[in-house]
Amino acid sequence: AQTVTQSQPEMSVQEAETVTLSCTYDTSENNYYLFWYKQPPSRQMILVIRQEAYKQQNATENRFSVNFQKAAKSFSLKISDSQLGDTAMYFCAFMKPGAGSYQLTFGKGTKLSVIP
Amino acid sequence: DVKVTQSSRYLVKRTGEKVFLECVQDMDHENMFWYRQDPGLGLRLIYFSYDVKMKEKGDIPEGYSVSREKKERFSLILESASTNQTSMYLCASSLGPMGSYEQYFGPGTRLTVT
């Protein structure tokens, strides 16, 4: 079974600074997907960024980027120019695609607070 | 935009009651999921469905059942609610193998069992 570990239960960052959230996972699979989801306070969970394991290039979405280290099984999220709206719970998730099996395995989350 | 809706944002039920949580998605997604979210535990999968009338147990199915009679609707049933089922319940859907595997989430139902 796959496991996902987020070692930082809580983090804080000053507005406009850069912060990195860590995520490691354990799998014997070679083909899989990794995701970062964001859950703002009392709001809906949304996808931040996605990485396919077969792609060597790190995914980027505006101020969000990942550092995907496949051999180390590490998938960290970097948020640049942090904004107050980035305050949220962030969840790292793993998925191995397969017939009839598309479930995500989530980490326990990191609570990020952006300080004005 | 994909929209996933859940029947209630907040729900208070008594111990022993039968509870229905409903989820509807409007994008013809094949896969639907029910998660439970508790502080410090993240999201844990209760059940999922990859087709109408098909269901698979997730990591914590005990005390729950599900129903998927139509593609767009996935219901979670607590047969006899207990206080340890007080939690936030999240529904999600995804397109399947022809899509990006991204899951789209509903707003959640915060259930309190007294």
Interface test with B, best of A89, A104, A111 (most B CBs within 10 A): A104
A100 CA: distance to closest CA in chain B (Å): 6
Residues 6+ apart with CB under 8 A from B30: B50, B51, B71, B94, B95, B96
- Chain B hits for A33, Cβ within 8 Å: 101
Task: Say how far apart CA A62 and CA A43 lie, in whole Å.
Answer: 21
Q: What SS3 state is found at B84?
A: helix
A60-61 and A3-5 beta bridge pairing: unpaired
Which of the four pLDDT bands, split at 50, 70 and 90, describes residue B101?
Answer: confident
Interface test with A, best of B23, B36, B103, B110 (most A CBs within 10 A): B103
- Chain B hits for A104, Cβ within 8 Å: 33, 43, 45, 103
In this complex, the residue of B45, B90, B108 whose CB is nearest that of residue A103 is: B45
pLDDT for res B40:
86
List pLDDT tens digits, range A14-72. 999 999 999 999 998 888 999 999 999 988 999 999 999 988 899 999 999 999 999 99
- Check pLDDT > 80 for residue A98: no
pLDDT for res A103:
80
